[in-house]
Chains A and B, each alone.
Chain A
Amino acid sequence: MADLLTLQGWLLALLQTALFVTAAPLLVGWLRLLKARLQNRRAPALTQPYRDLSKLFRKEVIVADTASPLFRAAPYLVFSATVVTAAVIPLIAVHLPTAAIADVIVLVGFLALARFFLALAGMDVGTAFGGMGSSREMTIASLGEPAMLMAIFTLTMTAQSTNLSHAIDFQLAQGLVLRPSFMFALLGLLLVAVAETGRIPVDNPTTHLELTMVHEAMILEYSGRHLALMEWAAQLKLMIYGVLIANIFFPWGIAAELTSSALLLGLAAIVLKLMLLAVVLAVAETSLAKMRLFRVPGYLNLAFLFALLGMLSHVILEVGA
């Protein structure tokens, strides 16, 4: 462990985290631009999410008089937990010291921690919407989490490590091998990512219709900088899932050593991968309609089934081969 803890490594890790956090709104801007184009609308500027955030940060904070102290602490907690999640994911380089702090199971735990406080904050003011949103969010998450872990287990059993850096290393060393288990795991993880980040067809990030909202219902009472932190955390979460999928399944290009040329290549690679993933998501969101809430379990069961098939094909087809 000692060789990991160099000053240079820590500095790079901090820089990478800062980049991760600041780039998250850009991904959302890109996604909105794509969706607008696909729907024949005029798109907002790519930097619109930044403008929205900075507007919210400057606005006055209004808190309901029934709110407890937890309501005011929750945005900071949710945001910090999400930032720490972002810090442990290899974005442009592998083997940074932050990756050793937490493996991929801990990463799922961080996301659960953020969700826990988000759901509690939804229930704090005591309106009907908040409770509804929390109940739905936790239901969806509790079905999504096993599917996600199952998909991850398939990968980690192949790579024999739950550490993200080591798993990516393994992928890189293997070269381009078509593994059926990875295909299934990728499908499962994609479905879970859509559900967890609250995109169509599970939730609609732009809706405020009572019957359908999930994430928006929980943060309905927030305003000003609190709302900005919650929104930013949600954007960060989208980026987290994007980077996870991009770098675990398609790690090529990521910087394996810490030279400036390798790092630049890594940066270019992840930008390209995320842009392409956003295209897939935008097309899917434009062509699909939102599901009824009680069709979501079926959807997540499908995700679990894919992940399970991935596991089975790993055990049956690939072990010993």
Chain B
Amino acid sequence: MARILEFEKVSKRFGGLLATNDVSFHVDDGEVVFLIGPNGAGKTTVFNLITGFVKPDAGIIRFAGQDITGGEPYEATRLGIGRTFQVVQPLAALTMRENVMLGTFLQHPRRKDAADRADQVLEFMGMRSRADQLASGLPLAQRKLLEVARAIGTGAKLLLLDEVMAGLNPREAEEVVGLIRRLREFGITSVGGVEHIMRIVMSLASRVVVLDQGRKIAEGPPAEVVHDPKVVEAYLGSKFVAEAKR
């Protein structure tokens, strides 16, 4: 089984804060791996490090065997890493189709091809009917889906979803879960996610990596990890660990 992402002993300091402290994990081809942990654990920083929005102080990051440590975000995308942002950043003055086209243009230089492919992606996401609507007028759920669509459009093999469920109601979240399960149809074989909603994590993840204050404290199948006392302590405090033991 090939390792699509290797994140080895990576550290990042912001001024006085060690946001990422010697963290190592990997994603194998075909896996769905989630990063979880309490607020401020440094999960989004890991995504930023992988995609190049932030440059690491130490460590190595490899994608499909290629060293991408310290690369630029657009290089990461061109290599096949797609990402969404925690705070959605649509291209407001463009239509939904045009937004996705910015992604599909990567593989389809001609406008017609890029537009057709964008429509395919929108169809997959169930948003084809709104293709001509401006991104600025969309409700949050649609904007989040648009982010995902755009990332899919880039032809990514690894998709990094940063809290994509936040702000969605249960029905919308279920839809997204269904879509994530079907990402293979678009050549996305592996997914990395940052997520707070445990139910989603449990149903999607093949493996979970737990971060707390910049360090990795646990890793493994979700069912095991949630019972790990270190993890419970990180989320709830030591009092609850004692409770759980009794």
A in complex with B: no
